[in-house]
Structure 1
Amino acid sequence: MDQTIRYVAIGDSFSEGIGDTGPVPLPGWTGRLASGLAAQTGAEVQYANLAVRGRLLAGVLDGQLDAALALDPAPTLVTFCAGGNDLLRPRFDPAALAARLGREIERVLSRGIRFALLSPADPSARMPLGSLINHRGDAWADALGSLAERLDLPFVDVSRDAHLGRAEFWSDDRLHMNATGHQRVADLALHAVADGPAPVVPTPPGAARTRVSEELRYYRQHVLPWVGRRVTRRSSGDGRSATFPTWTPVPPTR
């Protein structure tokens, strides 16, 4: 019997691993999950990551899912986390997105491949238009949770984790998680996918004071370029390809 775990991630910048600069063999929560699977199960683990920043849900399903299913040998586990870019668009319809995703998941499950869902991380606490992002994020998480329940899938509601809204889990752009945030998501996913240990409750940090100069620098370096891409209908992922497009052996844990 083949005991090898072949894990492929599809999604947007969150699954690509943007913001994780930690000293790990495979960065991002997906890479950290791959390492966790090797440690938790003792099995040989092969890892691929087809996620690309800036992708909408349709782009993930149209451009990445078939590529994941075409990997040779076939995957045994697929994780999906996307939709965060969709909820920033004017026409956001979580029910329609979930219906499209559900049809694609059923196609994957029919091949005997496990599928796990994660809701996008919620950056709204320190972002412009935070209340709108939070409201839409909750609607998308509800849709994903209902889909996971209907199809009996592992589901990690990252967006409503009790701790991940805090600043210490986020990178300077406030849109992507840092190494600490990616590790917590990996721990949550390992618990859901492979019955790994429950993630520890992080210790709250002391209160941090935000300076006006820091806010101005943040808007200049991160918000204005994002607005420029929206106006010109460009994506941060234009011209980019997957970081791990083929099976990569996960280094054995010590």
Structure 2
Amino acid sequence: MSQTQHPWSRYVAIGDSFTEGIGDPEPDAPGGNRGWADRVAEQLSRGGDDFAYANLAVRGKLIAQIASAQIEPALELRPDLITFSAGGNDVLRPGSDPDAIAELFEASVRRLRSEGATLVVFTGVDVGFSPVFRAIRGKVAIYNENVRAIAQKYDCIVADMWALRELQDQRYWSIDRLHMNLLGHHTVAMMVLEALNVPHDLTPLEPEPLPASSWRQARSDDLSWAREYLVPWVVRRIRHQSSGDHITAKRPNPSAFAARARDESAPPTE
């Protein structure tokens, strides 16, 4: 494949589990997860031999934690491209205020843009398809409008997850219903590259049909999911704990990131 033409040579990704790549396990990858940011870096690496990539994202982090622990280290790496996804964990928390989240988001964007790097920010997914998160759809929509307004003010690129209709399909999500699987991460990587106006060779993947399921089986699956994933998540919130406690960034330093050949035509297995 010919080299991908773009102006960037040093890419740093910051954020939470979404950017870390949770839901898309790959034992040979740093941190054991691949994710959309690695896929974007793979494609961007075809633009030249001197391309480098770092990923400072850590699962479970709130926007204030991302701002305090990741922004300055990211800028110290002298990137010319930054992706910043933060606030999703805050929006999920009961009683959180999307306008208060926006104040932290704007302060973060102001600092990230201060060194002149291209900055990509993300809207939240339309959660109307999810019985669990449907109730916060309005809050996500307010968060998204704030993100768009801030992006316009500071000349950021918006990667619009809300408009990515494929993510309305549960087959793009991992078994925990909180994180995207291989299909979801692959689809987001395509969207980010297109937002950057970068040619790429990623092609849409087709999920397998959902197996037939009775109402009784669906309710049993819901109960199993609640016991295994929802209850531990609630307990961590009560205890002010995070899944990212004691976790470090998977790619703390910019390093060469050669594009790899990998067959992703097969659907993911859980």
SS in 2 for 1:163: helix
Q: Partner amino acid for 1:48?
A: A
- Alpha-carbon contact 2:113-2:154 (below 8 Å) kept: no
Alignment of 1:31-70 (within 5 A): 31-39=38-46, 41-42=47-48, 44-70=50-76
- Alpha-carbon contact 1:87-1:136 (below 8 Å) kept: yes
Q: Partner amino acid for 1:67?
A: P
CA RMSD of aligned residues (A): 2.5
- Alpha-carbon contact 1:82-1:120 (below 8 Å) kept: no
Q: Select which of 164, 169, 174 maps to 1:171.
A: 174
For residue 238 of structure 1, report the CA deviation from its aligned partner.
1.1
Alignment of 1:83-102 (within 5 A): 83-102=87-106
Of stretches 142-151 and 203-212 in structure 1, the one that deviates more from structure 2 is 203-212
Q: Partner amino acid for 2:40?
A: L
Unmatched segments (≥5 aa) in structure 1: none
Q: Partner amino acid for 1:152?
A: D
Residue 186, structure 1, aligned to residue 193, structure 2: no
SS in 2 for 1:68: helix
- Alpha-carbon contact 2:171-2:207 (below 8 Å) kept: no
SS in 2 for 1:86: helix
**Deviations along 1:94-131, whole A, 9 cap, x unmatched?**
22322332233223323121111012345553352x22
Alignment of 1:81-160 (within 5 A): 81-122=85-126, 125-128=129-132, 130-160=133-163
User: Using a 3 Å threshold, how does the CA distance of structure 1 residues 35 and 197 change in structure 2: closer, same or farther?
Assistant: closer
Match of 2:13 in 1: 9
User: Using a 3 Å threshold, how does the CA distance of structure 1 residues 252 and 161 change in structure 2: closer, same or farther?
Assistant: closer
Moved over 3 A (4+): 22-26, 41-44, 120-124, 194-210
User: Using a 3 Å threshold, how does the CA distance of structure 1 residues 235 and 168 change in structure 2: closer, same or farther?
Assistant: same
**Sequence identity percentage:** 36
* CA distance, structure 1, for counterparts of residue 202 and residue 254 of structure 2: 28
Match of 1:75 in 2: 79
Alignment of 1:242-253 (within 5 A): 242-252=249-259
For residue 22 of structure 1, report the CA deviation from its aligned partner.
5.3
Of stretches 229-238 and 96-105 in structure 1, the one that deviates more from structure 2 is 96-105
Q: Partner amino acid for 2:64?
A: A
SS in 2 for 1:69: helix
User: Using a 3 Å threshold, how does the CA distance of structure 1 residues 204 and 21 change in structure 2: closer, same or farther?
Assistant: closer
TM-score (norm 2): 0.82
For residue 221 of structure 1, report the CA deviation from its aligned partner.
1.1
Q: Partner amino acid for 1:213?
A: S
Residue 231, structure 1, aligned to residue 238, structure 2: yes
SS in 2 for 1:185: helix
SS in 2 for 1:241: coil
TM-score (norm 1): 0.87
SS in 2 for 1:96: helix
User: Using a 3 Å threshold, how does the CA distance of structure 1 residues 114 and 67 change in structure 2: closer, same or farther?
Assistant: same
- Figure out how many residues of one structure are paired with residues of the other and give that number: 248
Q: Partner amino acid for 1:240?
A: I
* CA distance, structure 2, for counterparts of residue 9 and residue 127 of structure 1: 30
SS in 2 for 1:18: coil
SS in 1 for 2:42: helix
SS in 2 for 1:87: helix
For residue 171 of structure 1, report the CA deviation from its aligned partner.
0.4
Of stretches 142-151 and 195-204 in structure 1, the one that deviates more from structure 2 is 195-204
Match of 1:29 in 2: 36
- Alpha-carbon contact 2:52-2:256 (below 8 Å) kept: yes
Match of 2:267 in 1: none
Of stretches 201-210 and 60-69 in structure 1, the one that deviates more from structure 2 is 201-210
